[in-house]
Amino acid sequence: MHRPASGQNQPMIARTPQPPYYAVIFTSTRTEVDEGYGDMAALLESIALDQPGYLGIEHAREAVGITVSYWTDEASIAAWKAQADHQLAQRYGREKWYAAFALRIAKVERAYGFIAE
């Protein structure tokens, strides 16, 4: 599982186990409202670290934001969706932060990568 060092705010590629596992892909466009968004995102990342089945996260944002979180199984994804702070963030997202979003859940069957030394 990828756990960034305290205070680390650098883009990271999640270190996931050998497949199979699941990817939750959240794609979004934002409104101009930023009120509380950064704080909520940081809170949710912190809470997710302690959720059963959580494996890691990757995200990027330009005009379109993409966040991919990785989970061991569908039950862990369902539990995260129902987590109280995440429920509040979902409500705020619909009310003020997102102009549009799409969520996709995929089973990862194969994975490989490269890290330069």
Q: Where are the domains of the chain?
A: 21-108
Query: In the prediction, which pLDDT does 5 show?
Result: 38
Of 16, 6, 112, which is closest to residue 70 (Cα–Cα)?
Answer: 16
- The DSSP bridge partners found for residue 102 are 27
CATH class of 21-108: alpha beta
Find out whether 93 and 81 touch, Cβ atoms under 8 Å: no
Hey, what are 33's tokens?
């409202």
In tens, the pLDDT along 41-84 reads 999 999 999 999 999 999 999 999 999 999 999 999 999 999 99
Q: CA–CA separation, 27 vs 50, rounded Å?
A: 23
